[in-house]
Structure 1
Amino acid sequence: MPKPADAPKVEGEKVKLQKRHLVQAAADRLRDLILAAEPDTQIGSLNEVARELGVGIVTVQQAARILEHEGLLEVRRGPGGGYYGKRPDEAALERSIAAYIRVHPAAFKEVSEIVSLLDCELIPAAARCTDEVLRAALRGLAARVETSDTAQARIALEQELHNTLYKMVNRPLIELLTRVTSQLQRSQPAPPLFSGPEGVAAWKAGRSRILQAVLAQDEELARFEAVRYRQGLIARLRRLRGEGPAAV
């Protein structure tokens, strides 16, 4: 039991927690109102939104700041002003997810596993693409694999490969998550997963098999090769961490 002298402090913390919950609940309800309406629709004035949500105007203002940061709300002042719903652009979504990841740091191993897992969905879907311009770009990348002997060349090819896959596949959420996690992966000190003659040969073989499967428009083979590449990558990550052979 807290001492009598501690009671006001405990009570104050409880009140702060209740206020945070109230603001978060108001933000959730306001978000639902915004997403239920067309973009650029007026949701209401400050007082109207407060009445709609059944909370005070200070709570609404605090909730509105959360949604402004998410790119879902615009506050307009003057005649015709009020709260207007918006839709965040891709850059805003990427910033939000990147910020979350930085608040909850992920190790290089975890990020690499996420990127490779997303690739297991992105790569098979690309096999269904019939756009000849994009397929020609992929053939160009396939031709460069064998000459990518430096780490810089392999990193550049990986970036171009993913940018091409994004265009070949209409999977916005997978693209968004892959972009953010790939950027985070590149920003971290990277252990030499594919170093030395054996590592470079393994990278070349894995990427060549994946590219050929996509170009053959063989979705099942593309999935198989993506999963096989991921298993090999996880095995290398575990060996680097001294965890022994990976269970694949």
Structure 2
Amino acid sequence: MARKPSKEGLVSGAVDRMKQMILAQDSGTQIGSLPDIAKGLGVGVVTVQQAARVLEHEGFLKVKRGNGGGYYGARPDAASLGRAMAGFLQVNRSREHEAIEIMTLLDCDLISAAALATDEALRERLRDHGRQIDACNTPEQRGAFEQEMQDIIYAMVDRPLMEMLARVTMEHYSSHVRVPIYPGAEGAERWKQERHNIIYAILRRDAGLARFEAQRRREDILQRLARAPSNAEGQ
């Protein structure tokens, strides 16, 4: 006797089949009404509704109600991809150290690419921002500096997928209790020197040096995390 699919299996199967229907047509095309889709898939309307919520969250579906309503295919944008990735990290209980590994790896490419950027206004903005490094003496100041520096680099390289991945992993890391990557006076001075070196390499238009400095920073961060107590807080 064939084993009856579980509720989760039915929803997962409906998600996959509805996604195939969506991708087979242009974005914005109606794939059907709730009763029609349920009949076509051979499942109940509740299963379709649950699958639709998943697809809507992922950015593949838009639900219109009222006259002319129904399910319309869509394509995920950066925001919906970010939500999906954030959900994946949470569901799979990814460690904060893993998020740091991803972020710093992405940074190596982004920082190297920033050295090749030709937008002089953004380069000047980065130069001005770099003048604030030595005044960043608290974790809060360093965190604000990092955020602004990332925003400038993202604008310089214009790589939306890498930007989305970096932002989502940063948010995932920030939502957890963090170990002190740069504790004390020694850590603060090390942080300042690393940022000076990276900005110098970018402004010098030396992509190789920029990648070297980013990789050196990555190795330093990962070594510090490996040595730090797991229950500490701060930056």
Q: Per-residue CA shift, 1:99-134, capped at 9, x if unaligned?
A: 322222233322222211121122112222111121
Of 116, 122, 129, the match for 1:128: 116
CA contact (8 A) 1:193 1:199 kept: yes
TM-score normalised over the length of structure 1 = 0.81
TM-score normalised over the length of structure 2 = 0.85
> Residues 87-236 of structure 1 correspond to what in structure 2 (within 5 A)?
87-236=75-224
Are 1:56 and 2:43 an aligned pair? Answer: yes
Of 4, 10, 15, the match for 2:4: 15
Bigger CA radius of gyration: 1
> Residues 64-79 of structure 1 correspond to what in structure 2 (within 5 A)?
64-79=52-67
CA contact (8 A) 1:46 1:57 kept: no
Structure 1: unaligned runs, 5 residues or longer: 1-10, 243-248
Q: Per-residue CA shift, 1:188-223, capped at 9, x if unaligned?
A: 222222122221121111111111111122222211
Aligned to 2:14: 26
Relative to structure 2, which stretch is displaced further, 111-120 or 224-233? 111-120
C-alpha distance in 2, partners of 1:62/1:185? 29
In structure 2, the CA distance between the partners of 1:20 and 1:151, relative to structure 1 (3 Å rule), is: closer
Aligned to 1:5: none
> Comparing both structures, which one devotes a greater share of its residues to helix?
1
CA contact (8 A) 2:58 2:83 kept: no
Relative to structure 2, which stretch is displaced further, 197-206 or 182-191? 182-191
The number of equivalent residue pairs is: 229
In structure 2, the CA distance between the partners of 1:188 and 1:236, relative to structure 1 (3 Å rule), is: same
Q: Please give the root-mean-square deviation of Cα atoms over the aligned residues, in Å.
A: 2.5
Are 1:86 and 2:74 an aligned pair? Answer: yes
In structure 2, the CA distance between the partners of 1:112 and 1:44, relative to structure 1 (3 Å rule), is: same
Structure 2: unaligned runs, 5 residues or longer: 231-235
C-alpha distance in 2, partners of 1:65/1:137? 42
Relative to structure 2, which stretch is displaced further, 197-206 or 74-83? 74-83
The Cα shift of 1:32 comes to: 2.9
Q: Per-residue CA shift, 1:141-187, capped at 9, x if unaligned?
A: 21111222222211111010111111112222211111111122223
C-alpha distance in 2, partners of 1:77/1:146? 56
CA contact (8 A) 2:78 2:160 kept: no
C-alpha distance in 1, partners of 2:43/2:170? 42
Query: Whose relative contact order is higher, 1 or 2, with alpha carbons under 8 Å and at least 6 apart?
Result: 2
